[in-house]
Structure formats: structure tokens, C-alpha cells
Amino acid sequence: MPYLGAAGVAFVLTFLGELPDKSLFASLVLGTRHRPGYVWAGAAAAFTLHAGLAVTAGQLLALLPVPLVDGVVATLFLAGAVYLWLTSFRPRPPDGLDAARQGGPPASLARVAGTSFAVVFVAEWGDVTQLTAANLAARYDPLAVFAGVTLGLWAVAAIAVNVGAKGLARIPVAWVRRITAVILLALGGYTAFTALTG
């Protein structure tokens, strides 16, 4: 797959996979209480670090024999598809996020960005998008995957901190999960086919 193709696939999968994610809602809540730019800076830094870790894990996975890597990647893609499909039927959390900014002087950039970084960094471990990034990096150009994943995560964080809870309430999260599941299923099926046919 060419560089731009790999980056595009990584961007789309990451963007769709992260929309209904806990990190998005953490950024959203922080964005309702602090300056959105400050929150985005911390979240973007955490997402960049996670993208780097996921791509590195994918490159380590790529050191294994090709049929084994294809089997592992196919299994993880298919497992991610099943997980997203099943969770798309869960009821949406109640729309009661406190959008009121707290009184007092605004917090500093370092404090808000540091808090946002810590919250997102912890929330993102073992996430479906992280596993997807590692899978893509095991098969395609790691720099392209890193670029696509990072831009996808940054875009979701920007939406979360700027649009807010009311705007996100209009996004059909269940269908976003289902569309992402179908894409992962297709990637898993293709990878399984190439693993079996050599």
C-alpha cells in the first residue's frame, strides 16, 4: 500500500474508532471547564506518544515470521470488529455533562495541558485504536501509519474540546462503531486471506 494510502486508512480507522471512546469524553469534559486550546495541547501530546508506542509495538510484531504476523494481525482486526459491533448496541451514556465553567481565575497552560495529558495518556492504554495502529504498522509503512493515526487522534481531540457535549450528542455513536467494525472486519478478512494463501 502506498504511503498516502496507508496514512489515509490509519486516519479514517483512528478517527472513527476514537469518536465513541473514553478519551474523547475525557477531553470533552476537560474542554468544558478549561480553555479548549490548553486541553487540546495536552491531549494531543498524549495521543502522539501513544501513536508512537503503538507503531513501535507494530514494528516489533513485524519482526516475527510473516505468516504468524498476518495471523495475529487478522485475529486482532477481527476481534476489534466484534468488540465494536457488540458495543454499538449498548445504551448511550446519559447526556448530563456539566458544561458550566468553574469560577475563579483560569488555570495555567501548564496545569491544564498537564492534567489533560495525564488523563488521556492513562485512558488510552489498551484501546482499540492503539491495537489497530500496531496492526497497521506491522504491515504498512510505519511513518505513514504514525502520521495517519496521530492526525486522526488530534482531529477527534479538536472536535471534543471545541464542539462540546451538545454537538457530540448529535453524532450517531452506534453507527460510527458499526461502520468501524465493518472496516476492521474487511481488513481482518483480507489479512486472513493473505495469511492462508501465502
Note the pLDDT tens digit of each residue in 167-189. 556 667 677 678 767 877 887 78
Alpha-carbon distance 34 to 164, whole Å? 12
What dihedral do alpha carbons 122, 62, 10, 76 form, nearest 10°? -70
Sign of the C-alpha dihedral computed for residues 196, 137, 135 and 178 taken in this order: negative
- What does the mean pLDDT of the chain come to? 78
Residue 165 is predicted with a pLDDT of 52
Sheet strands (E) in 14-166: none
pLDDT, one tens digit per residue, over 100-136 is 344 555 678 888 888 888 878 877 776 778 888 888 8
Cell numbers given for 57: 509495538
Residue 164 is predicted with a pLDDT of 60
What is the DSSP-derived secondary structure letter of residue 106?
A: P
Classify 97 as helix, strand or coil: coil
Inform me whether the pLDDT recorded for 44 exceeds 70: yes
Rounded alpha-carbon distances, angstroms, from residue 69 to 38, 75, 87, 150, 182:
39, 10, 27, 23, 21
Rg (CA), the chain: 17
Is residue 58 a contact partner of residue 133, using CB atoms and an 8 Å limit? yes
